[in-house]
Chain A
């Protein structure tokens, strides 16, 4: 038990960060964190010492989250969507945007948009990898990403206008 608690102490913060980004809300993130650690302690003997331990732990947390929100249907309608980029310039240089606010935006995205956005933008997975992880086509992954960006952009714009009006 001592070893487990040590691992938890060391990595809980990092993994909880991941769980928050991949989950719908705080409650879900706590559940995912708990499940992740149970899997980690169960499979710790399977960790081959080649990669970094932290990387291994992160992958487990991500996979646990994916498991939770991944669509169950094996068939996925492929919709090739070419989004026309909106050319509105927004000044995102404003560094004062609150972390909680951004996190909240991500959490409010539809499940699959959120997963794709996280995997691609924050955890640097390729569309090919994402398509395998989520059991979707690469095209779906790309279109989900662009829709996620669009939604985020709109949310940010609204926030900015609100601030300008204030």
Chain B
């Protein structure tokens, strides 16, 4: 019987096969692999942590309860990201907000709430000044991402944050490859434009 340690060495298809056979550990392995990427994508799309958790939870429940419909010829990651992206897009449409609050969750009222719910930039081991610049630039980028159209946001997050191939992004978004490349190109142009105050 595959142990939890063995499962980590298996590919997604093998883990899914074990999950279909009834192994709870296989389900948890899938959760463990995709918990952060899926949550991060949804969080950056909807910009509300509590809502993102609900949507991520619904995504996983939907996926794990429908494993018997999963077709192994397609990548599992494409399937789960597709469902996650659709959940986020549906939520955005319900709220009829294409461009969201740049700082903090939409429901944030006080300065403390805005600070607490704003997406935080990464902190790397650079010099204090470089680290400050990096953190500020990262925060600016998070804000700029929030201003992108949902389709551009999905494309750029999957490409540059999650490191997915163009073909996989096309599968996730159910779009032609050319359209995906166009979206990513336009997203980068828009990000550059939003961040233009940082230029000479």
Q: Do A and B bind each other?
A: no
